[in-house]
Amino acid sequence: MIKELGEGLVSQNFPVNSIAVVLGASGGIGAAVFDLLCRDKTFLKVIPASRSTKPKLDLKDEQSIKDLAEEVKSTEGDLRLVFDATGVLHSDHFFPEKNLKSINTDTLYENFMVNAIGPVLCLKYLAPLFPKQGKSVFVSLSARVGSISDNCLGGWYSYRASKTALNQLIKTASVELARSLPSHVSVLFHPGTVSTELSEPFAKSGLSLLTPEDSASKLWAAIKTLDSSDSGKFFDNEKRVIPW
């Protein structure tokens, strides 16, 4: 269901009559970002997309991504923000690998499909909907453990590699999109360690976790300051650059 927000307001360089799309809107951070954007009223409309919405978004089904793009295209207003909060770290069938002998094809495939291939396909089909002029932003949530330079502990092979792949895919797309969309920003953010189902099994005792709402607030504050010079970069939630 699309949330109608009334008159779009001029805010932080996002033009009036703008649309925002939140991918993974049923997850912890995605739901918090969706709620925040609805309250903020920067956007005329905020469209949630997840496995429980219509049209359904399934990152392993390219047709569902095409269907979402058609839904957005048919919605009145200009697409200005896509916030990708999708991702998988563990499931009922797999857990992050601790060592080489734990690596298997199914886990690698699932991580790469959901964490890298699905998001860049969303950018593929949604990028043509960004207006040629004026600010537009594609945000994808990566993870600090996807940084090759910052990898000092090892482990988590599939998750690390899939997030590294996501970083490269979005960085590469940002170079191409800059040629036709001079005010566009494609960017990656590490949202912090957030209290969600994704991170819950790995939260250490005494570790201070962000709530989804706090993470969403930090990310939105950073997004509002983005300009074209930030495109293709990898930031933490305070907009500090993370090494590749």
Q: Can you tell me the mean pLDDT for 183-210?
A: 76
Structure confidence at residue 75 as a pLDDT band (50, 70, 90): very high
Domain of residue 74, CATH code: 3.40.50.720
Q: What is the pLDDT of residue 202?
A: 56
Let me know if residue 90 belongs to a domain.
Answer: yes
Let me know if residue 82 belongs to a domain.
Answer: yes
Let me know if residue 178 belongs to a domain.
Answer: yes
Let me know if residue 155 belongs to a domain.
Answer: yes
pTM: 0.90
Let me know if residue 100 belongs to a domain.
Answer: yes
DSSP 88-140: -S--SS----SSGGG--HHHHHHHHIIIIIHHHHHHHHHGGGS-SSS-EEEEE
Instruction: Note down the domain range covering 156.
Output: 3-235
pLDDT digits (tens, 9 = 90+) for 85-110: 999 998 878 889 999 999 999 999 99
**Residue 63 and residue 201: Cα distance in Å, rounded?**
33
Let me know if residue 241 belongs to a domain.
Answer: no
Total number of domains in the chain = 1
Let me know if residue 84 belongs to a domain.
Answer: yes
Angle at 194 between CA 185 and CA 226, to 5 degrees: 15
Let me know if residue 242 belongs to a domain.
Answer: no
